[in-house]
């Protein structure tokens, strides 16, 4: 009897497993789509940060803020200033050589591009190394390049003045050093002087920089409102928009890295990957955000985490968003906190000017990392102000409401029944359906054979129990 039970148990397990596999195959094409579930950002009162500020660059006003002028440590958000100065003073096609001095203060815990002393790197590549992996090494090389360009293009004894309204004599006066001393020993200090001059020219009230990368120094500070002014200025340059909009970059070969693709880097601004997070407020209200153009993160133990962004509203307004000083205990919520501040800022902006200029959703306008020939044919929101395509203009036009026509009340027509998912599966997957049916028939046959066999075994067992002499001749 034990062998009979074991046989029944084994066959039953096979049938159940086979039926499970069959069920999975048959339902695979009719189950719900796998997708990202919608998520809600936290309300503003649940955002843990030292400060935040949403600045409407178009209207030149702060939309929402908490402690916007509070002194904070920017960490790598500093690189927004470094980037804009490099774009103003350097030619993207030029090459810079990595000096020993540029690598001197790069600590072991620094975020880096991965360049080496003596490496010759194109300016455009250094800018990607600065903004995507947040390379402190790239920041110093660019800083030295800017100072060299200042002395070369706008010499102290010349009449030409640079983008900040001064020539190299300004650096000589500020540092109290000779031109040669600055070139030999104090390029990074001279660059910090240019950073502070630019901050002053932009109207920053609570900013003082001492380095190009943002590693902690008690005298290196700014505020959320000042950061929105800094990114707002950088945002005026097309190349800056491309840099912060790029989700990834692959570096080309150099004299120290002999192969192309020696490094593949991704943007540290996660909201760039998932802009839809800021498309609604915590209450589920449409924020009317149309695009996250991009931004820059910053993190140190003293600064906490922060993120400064450039964004665009459906009404065409360009909003600069900065959130600073997120404590270490909440660092993993940085993206959601930034999304929350962005969402509520955009909703407030929309309420002031509720006219659609850019149609669509946050997924409609995305920049990709690819050569120019492989870029999307049209992307008006990377460079707001571009002429809209005919399709976009047509999408904005309201559909004319037809004039009412007197008609008889129609007789309700029967509701059209949608085909059952199994019918759709059978029609679209005839081969798989055939296999499923064959397996089903096999299962039925096995069950029938099993039932017959079990009944015979029971009858034989009952016969032995009654003292019958007859013995089964088959092998069980």
pLDDT class for 285, splitting at 50, 70, 90?
very high
| Tally of CA atoms within 13 A in the half-sphere of 333 that contains its CB | 18
Gyration radius of the chain's alpha carbons: 34
- The chain-wide mean pLDDT, for the chain, equals 85
pLDDT of residue 109: 82
Per-residue tokens: 86: 């490099």
Percent of the chain with pLDDT over 70: 78
pLDDT of residue 384: 61
Percent of the chain with pLDDT over 90: 65
**CA separation for the pair 340, 338 (Å, rounded):** 5
pLDDT class for 107, splitting at 50, 70, 90?
confident
pLDDT class for 381, splitting at 50, 70, 90?
low
Per-residue tokens: 157: 């004894």
Residue 86 has pLDDT above 90, yes or no: yes
**pTM of the predicted model as reported, rounded to 2 decimal places:** 0.76
Who has greater pLDDT, 196 or 31?
196
In contact, 251 and 369? CB cutoff 8 Å: no
Looking at the DSSP assignment, which residues form a beta bridge with residue 320? 55, 310
Per-residue tokens: 429: 């997957």
Kindly compute the dihedral angle of the four CA atoms of residues 377, 380, 385, 387, in this order, to the nearest 10 degrees.
50
pLDDT of residue 446: 86
Per-residue tokens: 472: 């089964």
Looking at the DSSP assignment, which residues form a beta bridge with residue 264? 250
The owner of tokens 């950061």 is 227
Closest alpha carbon to 327 in 343, 297, 306, 341: 306
pLDDT class for 176, splitting at 50, 70, 90?
very high
Please give the span between the terminal C-alpha atoms of the chain, in angstroms, as a whole number.
Answer: 10
Q: E-assigned strands of 4-154?
A: 51-56, 61-66, 95-97, 120-122
In contact, 295 and 232? CB cutoff 8 Å: no
Q: How confident is the model over 291-342, as pLDDT tens digits?
A: 999 999 999 999 999 999 999 999 999 999 999 999 999 999 999 999 999 9
Residue 401 has pLDDT above 50, yes or no: no
Looking at residues 244-269, what average pLDDT do you find? 95
Looking at residues 402-422, what average pLDDT do you find? 49
Q: Decide: helix, strand or coil at residue 14.
A: helix
Where b means 16+ CB within 10 Å and e means fewer, 61-81 reads ebbbbbbbebbbbbbbbbbbb
Looking at residues 73-99, what average pLDDT do you find? 97
Closest alpha carbon to 376 in 356, 400, 360: 360
- Domain boundaries defined on the chain: 2-29+429-465, 39-72+223-402, 78-206
pLDDT class for 456, splitting at 50, 70, 90?
confident
Per-residue tokens: 133: 């992996």
Q: How confident is the model over 33-62, as pLDDT tens digits?
A: 688 888 999 999 999 999 999 999 999 999
**CA separation for the pair 230, 247 (Å, rounded):** 21
Looking at the DSSP assignment, which residues form a beta bridge with residue 319? 56, 311
Who has greater pLDDT, 218 or 2?
218
Q: Decide: helix, strand or coil at residue 264.
A: strand
Domain 78-206 matching CATH 3.40.710.10: the answer reads: yes
Phi-psi group of 10: left, alpha or beta (phi > 0 → left; psi -120 to 50 → alpha; rest → beta): alpha
Q: Decide: helix, strand or coil at residue 175.
A: helix
Q: Which of 18-22, 290-294, 344-348, 430-434 has the highest mean predicted lDDT (pLDDT)?
A: 344-348
């Amino acid at each position: 009897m034990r062998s009979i039970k074991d046989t029944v148990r084994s066959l039953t397990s096979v049938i159940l497993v086979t039926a499970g596999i069959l069920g999975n195959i048959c339902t695979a094409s009719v189950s719900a789509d796998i997708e990202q579930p919608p998520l809600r950002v936290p309300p503003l009162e649940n955002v843990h940060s030292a400060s935040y500020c949403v600045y409407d660059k178009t209207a030149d006003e702060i939309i929402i803020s908490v402690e916007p002028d509070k002194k904070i440590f920017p960490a790598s958000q500093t690189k927004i200033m470094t980037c804009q100065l490099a774009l103003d003073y350097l030619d993207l096609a030029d090459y810079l050589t990595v000096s020993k001095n540029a690598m001197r203060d790069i600590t072991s815990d620094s975020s880096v591009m991965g360049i080496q002393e003596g490496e010759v790197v194109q300016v455009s590549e250094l800018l990607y190394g600065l903004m995507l992996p947040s390379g402190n090494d790239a920041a110093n090389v660019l800083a030295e390049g800017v100072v060299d360009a200042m002395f070369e293009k706008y010499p102290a004894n010349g009449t030409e003045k640079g983008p900040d309204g001064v020539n190299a004599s300004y650096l000589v006066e500020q540092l109290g050093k000779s031109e040669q001393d600055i070139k030999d020993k104090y390029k990074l200090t001279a660059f910090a002087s240019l950073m502070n001059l630019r901050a002053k020219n932009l109207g920053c009230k609570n900013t003082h920089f001492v380095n190009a990368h943002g590693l902690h120094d008690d005298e290196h500070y700014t505020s959320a409102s000042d950061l929105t002014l800094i990114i707002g200025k950088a945002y005026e340059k097309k190349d800056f928009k491309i840099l912060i909009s790029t989700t990834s970059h692959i570096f080309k070969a150099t004299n120290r890295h002999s192969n192309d693709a020696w490094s593949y880097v991704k943007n540290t601004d996660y909201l760039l990957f998932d802009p839809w997070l800021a498309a609604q407020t915590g209450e589920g209200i449409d924020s009317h955000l149309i695009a996250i153009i991009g931004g820059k993160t910053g993190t140190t133990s003293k600064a906490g985490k922060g993120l400064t962004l450039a964004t665009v509203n459906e009404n065409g307004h360009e909003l600069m968003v900065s959130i600073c000083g997120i404590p270490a205990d909440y660092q993993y919520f940085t993206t959601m906190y930034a999304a929350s501040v962005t969402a509520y800022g955009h909703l407030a902006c929309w309420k002031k000017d509720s006219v659609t200029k850019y149609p669509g959703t946050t997924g409609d306008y995305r920049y990709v990392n690819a050569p120019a020939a492989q870029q999307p044919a049209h992307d008006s929101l990377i460079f707001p102000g571009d002429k809209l395509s005919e399709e976009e203009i047509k999408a904005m036009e309201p559909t004319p409401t037809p004039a009412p026509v007197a008609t008889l009340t129609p007789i309700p027509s029967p509701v059209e029944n949608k085909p059952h998912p199994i019918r759709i599966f059978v029609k679209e997957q005839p081969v798989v359906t055939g296999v499923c049916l064959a397996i089903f028939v096999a299962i039925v046959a096995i069950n029938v054979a099993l039932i017959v066999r079990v009944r015979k075994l029971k009858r034989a067992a009952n016969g032995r129990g009654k003292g019958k002499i007859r013995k089964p001749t088959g092998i069980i």
